[in-house]
Amino acid sequence: MLLLALLQTLHQPPPADFLKRAHTYSIVAYDSATGDLGIAVQSKFPNVGGIVPWARAGVGAVATQSLGNTDYGEKGLELLAQGATAPEALRIVMRGDPRPAQRQVGMVDAHGNAASWTGDSTFDWAGGRTGGRPDGRTGGKGEVITGRWYAAQANIMVSDATVRNMAETFERTRGSLADRLLAALVAGQAGGGDKRGMQSAALLVVRAGAGYLGLNDRYIDIRVYDAPDPIRELQRLYELHKLYFFTTDSADLLPITPALQHELEAILLREPVNQPAKWLAAPQPALNATFLNALANFMYWENYDLRVRMDGKIDRIVLDDIRKNRRPRR
């Protein structure tokens, strides 16, 4: 650990809680077009996704780091649900915190109000930035900074470039909230990132009724516990998440033509591999219920649950993945 070695060189013992601190950079944000709320975070700390990100659809999002205090997540969301703004909720939780100087927190509510706090005892470089500020100023230690739409914050960074990069990239990137958060995370690392390196990352986006089968608000919840390049791994897992947990975009629907039916039947006639009964017992003369039921069962088996159709069409994203997984290996 570079920072620990530096402290020892300077004959300064590290704080007793040093190893518990989530040396981290994060961004919390609200998308006014969709109502999505989310957090992206990376750290030289294992399983940062189990500590830093908190969010509730229609309420707000919180990142609690440095010596992360989960009260900022739990109580902060409760206060936001009761009608407090992000700056108000942050200040209320801080008043009940015996160690606010060791915290770093970003918070945004479902009306787009944002706030960020960096305590005096966080390690350099440490600070934050919020959107909607005409001065574009990056806040330092010992102050709550407020703004609109997002809050980016970091501690133990190489420089303030990490926060500046996150903020500027988030503002100029187009696409979904998740896409913008990931772009900001990549830009933060390009600004130097954590002095000690990389280890874990997480992406959390909430949307009412957008979880699996519409039963919760966890639209995207991806955690990289430990990896040499956690951001790259997070990007890979995000692509898998979109494949398996997003629903079909109407623009991606393709009609199952006779040629495509023949291509898919070749798979249905030989799979599941190592199972005596196959999805399809014999080729079908036309696009009928027997073929469509066999295709649906195959797609459920392959975990394409949310993209199954019975209307004679197939999702292009699924078709591309089916073909990719059956490509001859060289």
- Give 10-47 pLDDT, tens digit per residue: 344 444 444 444 468 999 999 999 999 999 999 988 99
Instruction: State mean pLDDT over 137-166.
Output: 91
Q: Looking at residues 93-122, what average pLDDT do you find?
A: 95
For residue 179, count other CB atoms closer than 10 A to its CB: 12
What are 44-64's pLDDT values in tens digits?
Answer: 889 999 999 999 999 999 999
- Give the model confidence (pLDDT) of 234-243 as tens digits: 999 999 999 9
Share of the chain above pLDDT 90, in %: 79
For the chain, give the mean pLDDT. 91
Strand partners of residue 62: 54, 107
Longest dimension (CA), the chain: 81
Q: pLDDT by residue (tens digit) across 137-147?
A: 788 899 899 99
Our CA angle for 215, 216, 218, nearest 5°, is 135
What pLDDT sits at residue 157? 83
The pLDDT value recorded for residue 287 is: 97
> With bands split at pLDDT 50, 70 and 90, how would you rate the model's confidence at 330?
low
> Cα 201 vs. chain centroid, distance in angstroms?
8
pLDDT of residue 188: 92
Average pLDDT of the segment spanning 76-81: 98
How far, CA to CA in Å, does 299 sit from each of 60, 278, 288? 36, 13, 17
Q: Distance between CA atoms of 114 and 186, rounded to whole angstroms?
A: 22
Give the type of residue at 24. Answer: T
d(CA 93, CA 316): 48
Cα gap 277→292, rounded to integer Å = 17
Bridge partners, 151 (sequence order): 28, 130
Element of type H or E holding 75: helix 71-81
